[in-house]
Structure formats: C-alpha cells, structure tokens
Amino acid sequence: MTEIRHHIRSELLAAWVTGNLPAHFAAVVASHVALCPECRAESGALQSLGGALLEGLAGVDLSPDALSKALAALDDSTRRPEPAATAAGIFPAPLMQVLGGRPPKWSLLGGGIRQQILMADRSGSLRLLYIPPGRKVPEHSHGGLELTLVLQGSFSDSSGEFHVGDVEDADDEINHQPVAGPGAPCICLAATDAPLRFRALLPRLLQPLFRI
C-alpha cells in the first residue's frame, strides 16, 4: 500500500469515536481507520481520553431495582450478536460487515462505471463505485458533505491525487470531476448526505434512476 496522505479530519474522527456520526459516514471512517495506522492511533487516543473523562464524573444514585431490571433484560434477550466480518481482499472488515460478508453486486451506470448502493435514506447514502482506468466521473458539486475512500487504484481531481487508503473530504464549496488513474480500476467507498449537483444535463436526467 502507498503512503496514506489524505486522512479523516479530527472532528469527524471524534464524532465517530463517540457514536455521533451517521451510519453511512461512520462506515467510511471505520474502513479508513482499519487501513490507516495514523488515524487508528488517533482514534485510540480519543477513546482513552473519553474514558478518562467518564472516570472523573461524579457518580449518580441508581434506583433500588436497577440491578434486577438489568438482569431481567439480559434473561429476556434471545438475540445473539452476529459474528464480526473479517477483511477480504481490498475490502476492510468494517466494509465487509456492511456487505454482510459477501462480495459486491455491481449495477452498471454507463461507460463501464458500476455501483452498489449499500445504504440510502433521508440522512444520506453509502455506495461502492467501480471506475475503469482513465474514466471520468461527470463533473459535479455537492449539496453537503461527501467522503470518498479509495480501496483500489486511484483517482485525481482539482484537489489532488488519491490512492489506496486516502479519503477525499468534499463539501458544498468543491466542484470537481474525478478521473480514475492508470492501472487497476478505481474502487471507492463514497458517502454523501445530499444528492450530487451535476453540471451536465444527461447526468441530471439520470440522477433519480441511479439514486446518486
């Protein structure tokens, strides 16, 4: 793996550590942390800091039946936790968890570009993208935040070059047209909290069909 140069910014990492990041963004952050020793160390430090802060808080009195209620809830629980997924090829363990331990099921977008939508609701979306070498993604801006993690290959745009493990953090001030680099197809994990804003007419017309 090449050196990772584009990391998760600290405020997003802190939100992920505290469980305050929406699921689609959390999947990108967790996958990046699995690949990046630097962000893994920073997230561990944040967790340690949070634990120290909790230890310093004053205790609170519990109701007399708190223990019995907790034990009853455990007795009533019949669900078993799902086994944790493991990394597979280019896909880190957190992403394999989202994939249910199975390989991607690609849908064709056109021009050789493929996608699989992993999550999609009012809060945002998470998708895998497969972009052949040299292929351009239609030029677009954003209605909010877009996090894109490179899992294979590379891409470049007006913000620079992004290789395996790198994350592009694009907001509503960025207008770009990512181009897949030479060599292996570029496979990315991308999360957004608003639809993309395409400049050309045809991508705008196809946008509802492809749910981008």
- Which backbone phi and psi does 75 adopt, to 5 degrees? -65, -35
Selection from 14, 85, 25 nearest residue 47 by Cα: 14
How far, in Å, CA of 176 to CA of 92, rounded? 27
- The one-letter code for the residue type at 32 is H
How far, in Å, CA of 95 to CA of 100, rounded? 9
Query: What angle do the packed helices 10-17 and 23-35 form, to 10 degrees?
Result: 110
The reply to whether the predicted model has a pTM over 0.75 is: yes
Give the pLDDT of residue 167.
97
Question: Strand, coil or helix: what is 151?
Answer: strand
CATH of 1-212, one of 2.60.120.10, 3.30.300.30, 1.10.1270.20, 2.60.40.1180: 2.60.120.10
Contacts (Cβ under 8 Å, ≥6 apart) of 144: 124, 171, 172, 192, 193, 194
Give the pLDDT of residue 202.
54
C-alpha distances out from residue 55 to 43, 52, 132, Å: 18, 5, 51
Contacts (Cβ under 8 Å, ≥6 apart) of 128: 104, 106, 115, 116, 118, 187, 188, 189, 190
For residue 186, with 0-12 CB atoms within 10 Å meaning exposed, 13-18 middle and 19 or more buried, which class applies?
buried
Selection from 114, 118, 127 nearest residue 196 by Cα: 127
Q: What share of the chain is helix, strand, coil (3-state, %, to 5)?
A: 30, 25, 40
How far, in Å, CA of 148 to CA of 143, rounded? 15
Give the pLDDT of residue 83.
65
- The one-letter code for the residue type at 181 is G
Per-residue pLDDT tens digits for 147-165: 999 999 999 998 899 999 9
How far, in Å, CA of 50 to CA of 206, rounded? 45
**Local confidence pLDDT in tens for the 212 residues of the chain:** 579 999 999 999 999 999 999 999 999 999 999 999 999 999 999 988 655 554 555 555 566 675 666 566 556 555 555 667 899 999 999 999 999 999 999 999 888 999 999 998 888 899 999 999 999 987 766 678 999 999 999 999 988 999 999 999 988 777 778 999 999 999 999 998 877 666 655 555 555 555 66
Give the pLDDT of residue 163.
97
